[in-house]
Amino acid sequence: MDNFDQKLGPDFLKNLSGETISPLSVVIHEDIYESSSKRPKTTSKVWDVFEKLPAQQGDSKAICKLCRRIYTAKTTSGTSHLRRHIEACLKRGNHDLDQRSTEACFKPVNRDANRHTVSQGTLIDATTPLKSYKLDVDEIRRAIAMMIIVDAQPFRVVEDTGFRHVLNVACPEFPLLSRKAIKRDIISIYVRERENIRELLGACPGRICLTSSTWKSNCDDHYNCVTAHFIDHEWRLQKRILRFKLIPPPYDSLSIADEIGLCMVQWNIEHKVFSVTLENLSSDDCVADILKTRLDAKKYHPFKGVFFNMSCSTRILNLIVQAGFNLIIDIIGKLRLGIKYVQQSPHRKKNFYIIAKTLNLDTQKKLCLDSPSRWNSTYNMIEVALCYKNAFLYLAEQDKNFIHKLSEDEWEKVSVSYKFLKVIFEVACIFFRNRQPTSNLYFKALWKVHRRLSDMVRGPENFMTRMVKEMQSKFNQYWSEYNLILSCAAILDPRYKIKFVEYCYTKLYGSGAQQYVSASVNTLYGLFHDYMQNSACPSHTATLSVLTTKISNDKDDNDGFEDYETFQSARFQTQVEKSQLDLYLDEPSHDLNSEIDVLEYWTLCSLRYPELSRMARDVLTIPVSTIASDNAFDIGPQVISTDRSSLKSKMIQALVCLQDWMLASDKTSSMESRTEDDSSSSSDGDDDY
C-alpha cells in the first residue's frame, strides 16, 4: 500500500471509496449556522451538509456531501470554516443561481419566513433549480489520458503515490487506475479521433500537401512521420500528423516511398495530394520520382506535377549555420567558459555589470549560456557577449583568475560570424514565428540568404570565405531546383506579384533574369489553365463575352454607325477576355512592407476570382519545411523521448498523433472516448500496444 494510504489508514480509505452520494436536503433559516450552548454543537445546521468521519489518531475530519472535500472537525475549530465552504460550494456548483437566489440562501431570514429545501432537482427560492454534484468516472479518465498525451507523461504516473494521493483527496470515490487501463483508454481515444481527422480531410475544400520526415529513437530505430497540410473552409492553415510508423531496415528510397504511398491510400487522399515536401537528403529525389510516377499514372496531378516535389529549406539553413559555427568552435568554447566564470559567483556577476555600466554599456540584456544542441541559443549567447566585449577585456586585465580571455583577433572572428549568421537567424524566425507560414513567405527570405552568400564570396577574403563558397554551392543547388515554386507562390502575394520577383532575379542574375521571370509566369498561367478546365462553374469573363455578343446582335445595322459598333465591340471583347489571373496581376501591388494576411486577402477575393483563389489556396499551402517550429533550431535529427522509445511502435504512433491533434484543435475536452474500467492489474500485459 502507498505511503499516503498507510498514513490515512485502511478504514478511512474504505469509508471514502465506499460512500454513496445521496440527494441532500438542507433546511435554511436564520440560525442555520448558529449553535446554542443549550444543545450539542453537532446539531448545527452545517451538519446537514457535512458528515463526520471516524477519527484517526485523535484528528476529527468532516466531508462535504456536495463536493466530497474534507475539512477539520475539531471541537476547538468551530464551524465557521464549514459555513464558508458551504456558501462557496453552492456557488461553485450552481452557476445558474443569480445573485438574488444566492443571497436568499446565505443571509439570515426571519423565524416566520417560509423554509426552503436544498435537494437534487428542487428549488431554493421556488424559481431557481439547484444542481447537485455527480461523479463522472469516464470524464475523469479521459482527462487523465489527455494529460498523459499532451504533457508526454509516462504511463506509470497513474500508479505514482503522489498522483494517487491527489486523486484520493480530490475524489475519494474514483477507483485506482493501472497503466494498462490508461493505455486502453488512449487507444480508444486514438481510434475515435482518427475517424474525426479522416472526415476533416475528406471535407477540406482544397488540395492537401504532405511532408515526410525521419525521427530516431534512443534505440536507433527509424520512424517515418507523414503530416498533412491544408487550408480549411475558413481559410486557416491546418496541419495534422497522419502516420508515425516504424521503418524496418534498409532505410532506402523505396521504403520511404512505400510508407508515404500507403499513408495516402489508407487516408483516401491520393486524389487530393498537391505536393510532397521531403527532407533535404540525397535519396529524396528518388522518393519523389517514385511517388510522382505512381500518381501520374492515375492522372491526379495538375499541370504535369510541376509543384509536386519540394525539399526542406530548414535543413539547408541549419547546414549553413553548423558550418559557420564549426569555424569558430574553439572560440565559442572559450566564450562559454568566460560567461560561466562570471555567472558562477554572485559577487563576480555584480562586479561585471558594475564594470559594464562604468564603460557605458547597455546592461538590459544579460549574459546567457547556450544549449549547444539548439543553434539559436548559441547565436543569442554570441550576440549578448559582443555587447559586453569591452567589459570582458577589462575583466581580463583586473582579474588574474579570469583565464578565458579572447584576443582581438578572436573577437573579430566572432563579430564576422555573427554578422553572417544574422541574416539566416532572421529568416528562420520569419519561418517559425509566423502563425500561418504560407509558401509566399519563402521566396523573399531565401533570396536574402542567396544574396548574403554571394556578397560574402565576392567580398574581401577572410577566414570564412572557403566555407561560404562550399555552402553557396549547396544552396545554389537547392535554389536552382525550387526557386520556380517559391517565385510562383510569391507572385500570389498582393505585395509582390511579378515586379518584385523580377527585381529579385535581376539582383541575382542581371541580364539573365528574364528567363527566370518568364518561367515563373508561364508556369503560373499553365497551372491556372488547368484549374479553369476543371472548374465546376463558368468563368465570370465568359459571361461578359456572351452578354457583349447579345447586345451587339440586337443593334440596328442601318443607322450608319456600324463601323463604330465593330470597333467598340473589338476593344471591349479584348478587355473582357482577360482572365482572372490577368486582372489580378493588373491591379496595383500593395505596399511591400505592409502587414497582410495573405489568406484573408484571398478569402475576400474568392467571389471576384473564384478559380484563381482556388489555385492560390493550394499553392500557398505548400510547406517548405518538414520540421515543426519547436524543433526548427535543433542541430541533429529529431529524436523520440526516452520514455516513448521504450513503448511498442503502435503506441508511439497513437501518442504522437494524438498529441499533435489535441494541440492543433486546442479542444481536448471535446474528445469522446468511452472505455471499460480495468484496474485489476498494473502490468503492461500482452496486448498489441
Q: What is the pLDDT of residues 11-22, one digit of tens each?
A: 433 333 333 333
Greater model confidence, 131 or 206: 206
Specify the long-range contacts of residues 147-154, CB closer than 8 Å, at least 24 apart: 148/182, 148/186, 149/186, 149/189, 149/655, 149/658, 149/659, 149/662, 150/659, 150/662, 150/663, 150/668, 152/641, 152/643, 152/644, 152/655, 152/659, 154/643
pLDDT at 407 over 60: yes
DSSP string for residues in 6-52: HHH-HHHHHHHHT-------EEE-TTTT---TTS-GGGSGGGGTEEE
Q: How far is CA 362 from CA 343, 391, 398, 532, in A?
A: 18, 11, 21, 59
Query: Per DSSP, which regions of 57-131 are E strands?
Result: 59-64, 70-72, 116-118
Separation of alpha carbons 568 and 564, rounded Å? 6
Q: What is the CB neighbour count within 10 angstroms for residue 613?
A: 22
* φ, ψ at 391 (rounded to 5°): -65, -40
Q: Which pLDDT band, with edges at 50, 70 and 90, does 205 fall under?
A: very high
**C-beta separation of 44 from 30 below 8 A:** no
CATH topology for 210-312+647-665?
Nucleotidyltransferase; domain 5 (3.30.420)
For residue 62, the cross-strand partners are 52, 71
Separation of alpha carbons 502 and 516, rounded Å? 8
DSSP string for residues in 609-673: SHHHHHHHHHHHH--S-SS-GGGTTBSS-EE--HHHHTS-HHHHHHHHHHHHHHHHHT-GGG---
pLDDT at 85 over 70: yes
- Give yes or no for a cis peptide into 129 (omega within 30° of 0): no
Q: Determine the Cα angle at 389 with ends 387 and 395, to 5°.
A: 130
What pLDDT shows up at residue 502? Answer: 96
SS3 400: coil
Q: Determine the Cα angle at 23 with ends 18 and 27, to 5°.
A: 125
Mean pLDDT: which of 104-118, 238-252, 549-563 is highest? 238-252
Burial of 20 (0-12, 13-18, 19+ CB in 10 A): exposed
Q: Which pLDDT band, with edges at 50, 70 and 90, does 666 fall under?
A: low
What pLDDT shows up at residue 281? Answer: 67
Angle, helices 465-491 vs 442-458, to 10°: value is: 150
Q: Report the mean per-residue pLDDT for the chain.
A: 80
The 10s digit of each residue's pLDDT in 87-144 is 777 765 543 333 333 333 344 434 343 333 333 444 334 444 445 567 788 999 999 9
Specify the long-range contacts of residues 507-513, CB closer than 8 Å, at least 24 apart: 507/447, 507/451, 508/447, 508/450, 508/451, 508/454
- Which one-letter DSSP state was computed for residue 158? G
Instruction: Look at 104-113, 361-370, 520-529 and tell me which has the smallest mean pLDDT.
Output: 104-113
pLDDT at 346 over 90: yes
Question: Once rounded to an integer, what is the mean pLDDT over residues 483-489?
Answer: 96
Instruction: Look at 60-64, 355-359, 433-437, 508-512 and tell me which has the smallest mean pLDDT.
Output: 433-437
- By percentage, how much of the chain surpasses pLDDT 90? 53
**Which is it for strands 309-311 and 273-278: parallel, antiparallel or unpaired?**
parallel
285's grid cell:
529525389
pLDDT at 39 over 70: no
Instruction: Look at 73-82, 344-353, 650-659 and tell me which has the smallest mean pLDDT.
Output: 73-82
Q: Provide the residue ranges of all domains of the chain, joining segments of one domain with +.
A: 22-118, 210-312+647-665
Q: Supply the Cα-derived Rg of the chain in whole angstroms.
A: 35
Closest CA to 626 of 275, 191, 305, 390: 275
616-650 CB burial, b ≥16 within 10 A, e <16: bbbbbbbbbbbbbeebbbbeeebebeeebbebeeb
What pLDDT shows up at residue 15? Answer: 38
pLDDT at 300 over 50: yes
Closest CA to 269 of 230, 307, 225, 219: 230
Question: Once rounded to an integer, what is the mean pLDDT over residues 370-377?
Answer: 89
Q: Which pLDDT band, with edges at 50, 70 and 90, does 377 fall under?
A: very high
Query: Per DSSP, which regions of 42-99 are E strands?
Result: 50-56, 59-64, 70-72
**C-beta separation of 117 from 26 below 8 A:** yes
Our separate counts of H helices and E strands in the chain read 26, 11
Question: Once rounded to an integer, what is the mean pLDDT over residues 566-585?
Answer: 71
Separation of alpha carbons 212 and 675, rounded Å? 33
What pLDDT shows up at residue 433? Answer: 75
281's grid cell:
537528403
Q: What is the largest distance, in Å, between two alpha-carbon atoms of the chain? A: 120
Contacts of 504 (CB under 8 A, 6+ apart): 443, 444, 447
Separation of alpha carbons 319 and 437, rounded Å? 21
Contacts of 298 (CB under 8 A, 6+ apart): 270, 271
**C-beta separation of 675 from 185 below 8 A:** yes
To the nearest 5 percent, what fractions of the chain are helix, strand and coil? 55, 10, 35
